Structure 1
Amino acid sequence: MTNFDLNDNTTIPVTGFGVFMVPNNGPTEEAVTIALKEGYRLIDTAAAYQNESDVGKAVKKSGIPREDIYVTSKLWLQDYGYEAAKKAIDTSLTKLGLDYMDLYLLHQPYGDTAGAWKALEEAVKAGKIRSIGVRNHTVKFLDKLLPKMEILPVVNQMECNPYFQQKELREYLAKYNIRMEAWYPLGHANRQLLTDKVLVGLAEKYGKSVAQIILRWHYQEGIIALPKATSIEHIRDNISIFDFELTDDDMTAIRALDKGKGTHNPDNMANAVTLGMYKIH
């Protein structure tokens, strides 16, 4: 698996396997087991997904050295604030059955993010977490939080795909050498995206699927992609993107597809209220 460099002198696999909405107690363990066998080395979970234990089981039984698997989890809003975050980090480690997490993110940009971030920084120093980052943090939230940080985020995990390319935010992140990491890289199975004539034409040109064209675009843009799949066909398809290369003209054509709007706007503070109602313990 090819890696990208991060701003803390670590590296991260360029594409990963997401387990959002995959049930615990079997299905997640099975999906992650298949993904690891197919060559994935980045597994992305979260406390709020409530399937960390299955991820840990799959990592353990894989037979792959721990240092070769990159495990990400995330802190949920219910555990924001310094003291609560410290406990939540230990809880995630226990559920995963791991001595450390490779990457740990602030899942949402609301509440006491500064207090939570302090706990993440201490966990890095204690060796519990290798790298830390954020998720769903727009420029507005980053402007507020970055001055309070001792350790900068290595990634900002955001909705990003050819129809929502986050160009302004990516320019902002580049100033701090923070890498974009994409959730919904395939547009959450957006039929319009997956049947777009430009992408279909490129798929025919290279003998690839539209999903592979999209994920290759992410890779060549320097964006970490986290496609979700449960069927072995899609799991295998989503990682088979390293045997061809899009031309400059291809990349320009895909960049022109940007509509500048996604399914989720973190700056809409109604989200803070709605998400705050979701309890994980």
Structure 2
Amino acid sequence: MKQNTPLNNSLKHTKPSTLKTRRADLLMWDLNTFNQHLSTALDQYLHATPHPLKEAIQYSLQGGKRFRAQLIEASAQLCEISTQIGCTLGIAAEFFHAYSLVHDDLPAMDDDALRRNRPSCHIAFNESTAILVGDALQSMAFEHLTSISHDNPASLLQVVQCFARAVGPNGMVAGQYLDLHAPPTDTADLIHQHQLKTGALFEACLLAPAYLMPSPDTRIQALKDCGHALGLAYQAQDDQFDGATLGASSIQENYAHAHSMIKHYKHSAALSTCIEAIEQRTH
């Protein structure tokens, strides 16, 4: 039985032809086009950056499916936000994500030598450069958010605050700390850690376009809940494929719980494409 959620309610009165158009638009989301916009943004930010720091920043943004940018595009369509603003938000989100990956791979953190089937930034360059790359990417992300032109400055401030909370000491940073220093002892701990380390940024990606709607409505809470579910499912996939954290039974429990949550959002033509990407582990 389909769950009655605010997202579902908001779509009840949407013409089927409109839903089909939105889904077609999302399926036409072109990775190469987005990467071209991202490359243009990099050129603007890095024109005076010394070498090889510039190359290291560019290197750290290469590859990947840009899943967070796709989440933003899905939400932007649902909230009827322009493609241009959606792209700007997506680039900022990818800057945040890349910063977290570069720092997570460092020897003092996860000590991973490979990222996206290539040497991690600190291996390809050096550790001090990698630290500075992460610092630069985070500041670039915030600067890019402030480049959005919007009639309501308070709404834009909400967007900036939303991302700041997601990547800060009560979000992604806290999740990484728990991953390093407080390994989960049960499924509840694992879910909490996943929510901080992965789900917080997913939530921000879905919420940001909603804050820019002329009249934010109940979709905000629904998108927040969906971001939580998607983040949990995304990380559960990693547990499934990358080895046990708590053992096979706990991983299966977490995986089943995550997918029972996200199935309720498949009624959204835009979000269902993102859900399918998670279920197929195309990240």
| TM-score normalized with structure 2 length | 0.26
Greater relative contact order (Cα < 8 A, sep 6+): 2
Of Structure 1 and Structure 2, the greater strand share is in 1
Of Structure 1 and Structure 2, the greater helix share is in 2
